[in-house]
């Protein structure tokens, strides 16, 4: 099972071609995005459900698909498909890259027909970006809150965030130069979970990974959708490429498909998929 670079490019190309851009004001663009995600998943043989809610007088949608839905033990992996305001443009890295990666992980799993000891829920969120960030109108909060009345045991959650842009940088703690690295970010109360995800992603050696476990009181310890699962006692991390360490195109019109490194991104998807599929091995 290997991720397909051409598939990743096609997904990002479509998502970044949608205009007006996929922000909360452009409802038709968000609907077009949701329909695309839905069609791709259904084409792989999985059923999808729509989770809808209202914010500022408009209806918004999460797209959810489940692998081995009969399993009580479950793992969640998600990515947001909205972008930050019009000034952020097409949002290639933030967050079309992660939507593309998640769609490719769905393909890898469904085509492999792996028998896992747990089921996996794939969630494509709307309303991660401001003005809804850190509110109960975030799509990830809507989803996390909906799990409280289920009889499922959630092993953990991964939020994919900006996995397409990579740059060389220098780590202060060892002065090493890195580029092919995935960063796992979580909180200290789930440090063992954070570490395990990071270590699993390094198994095949095509990319490095490190994990960061912030104090619960740290002001920016949850800069993505994973934040909403902690309060429901579900271990959750954000996985981000080295661009997250300082993508100069972040929330700018320059966040375009031409800035992404699809070769490294393909390795990233393979490593994330490995960690996801081997969590209980």
Find the CATH number of the domain harbouring 234: 3.40.630.10
Domains held by the chain: number: 1
Q: What is the largest CA-CA distance in the chain?
A: 50
What is the number of H-type helices and E-type strands within the chain? 7, 10
What is the pTM for the complete model shown?
0.95
Q: How far apart are CA 244 and CA 107, in angstroms?
A: 26
> Tens digit of pLDDT for each residue in 228-273?
999 999 999 999 998 655 799 999 999 999 999 999 999 999 999 9
- Helix segments in the chain, DSSP class H: 5-17, 27-43, 97-112, 139-146, 191-201, 227-230, 262-277
- Average pLDDT for the chain: 94
CA 184 to chain centre: 12
User: Which residue range is the domain that position 176 belongs to?
Assistant: 5-277
> Tens digit of pLDDT for each residue in 83-98?
999 988 999 999 999 9
> Tens digit of pLDDT for each residue in 96-123?
999 999 999 999 999 999 999 999 999 9
Residue 169: the pLDDT is 57
The answer to whether residues 112 and 44 touch, using CB atoms and an 8 Å cutoff, is no
> Tens digit of pLDDT for each residue in 10-68?
999 999 999 999 999 999 999 999 999 999 999 999 999 999 999 999 999 999 999 99
CA 249 to chain centre: 19
> Tens digit of pLDDT for each residue in 140-196?
999 999 999 898 999 999 999 999 999 865 453 344 445 689 999 999 999 999 999
Q: How far apart are CA 192 and CA 176, in angstroms?
A: 25
Give the C-alpha distances (Å, rounded to integers) separating 10 from 36, 72, 80, 234: 12, 34, 18, 33
Residue 163: the pLDDT is 97
Helix (H, G, I), strand (E, B) or coil at 79: strand
Residue 174: the pLDDT is 44
Helix (H, G, I), strand (E, B) or coil at 188: helix
Give the C-alpha distances (Å, rounded to integers) separating 159 from 86, 115, 163, 165: 23, 23, 11, 16
- Please give the DSSP secondary-structure letter assigned to residue 272: H
> Tens digit of pLDDT for each residue in 56-80?
999 999 999 999 999 999 999 999 9
Closest CA to 21 of 30, 12, 13: 30
């Amino acid at each position: 099972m290997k991720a397909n670079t051409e598939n990743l490019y096609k997904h990002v190309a479509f998502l970044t071609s949608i205009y007006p851009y996929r922000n909360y004001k452009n409802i038709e663009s968000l609907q077009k995005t949701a329909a695309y995600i839905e069609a791709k998943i259904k084409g792989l043989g999985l059923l999808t459900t729509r989770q809808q809610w209202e914010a500022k007088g408009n209806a918004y949608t999460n797209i959810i698909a489940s692998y081995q839905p009969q399993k009580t033990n479950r793992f969640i992996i998600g990515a947001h498909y909205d972008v930050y305001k019009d000034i952020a443009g097409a949002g290639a890295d933030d967050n079309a890259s992660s939507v593309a990666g998640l769609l490719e992980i769905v393909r890898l799993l469904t085509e492999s027909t792996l028998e896992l000891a747990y089921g996996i829920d794939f969630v494509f969120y709307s309303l991660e970006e401001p003005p809804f960030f850190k509110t109960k109108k975030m799509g990830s909060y809507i989803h996390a809150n909906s799990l409280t009345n289920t009889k499922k045991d959630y092993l953990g959650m991964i939020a994919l965030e900006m996995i397409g842009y990579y740059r060389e940088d220098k780590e202060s703690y060892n002065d090493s130069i890195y580029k092919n690295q995935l960063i796992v970010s979580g909180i200290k109360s789930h440090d063992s979970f954070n570490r395990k995800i990071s270590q699993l992603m390094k198994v095949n050696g095509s990319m490095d990974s490190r994990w960061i476990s912030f104090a619960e009181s740290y002001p920016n310890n949850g800069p993505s959708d994973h934040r909403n699962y902690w309060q429901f006692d579900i271990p959750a991390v954000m996985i981000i490429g080295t661009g997250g360490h300082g993508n100069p195109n972040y929330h700018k019109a320059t966040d375009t498909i031409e800035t992404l490194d699809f070769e490294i991104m393909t390795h990233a998807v393979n490593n994330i998929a490995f960690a996801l599929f081997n969590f209980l091995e």
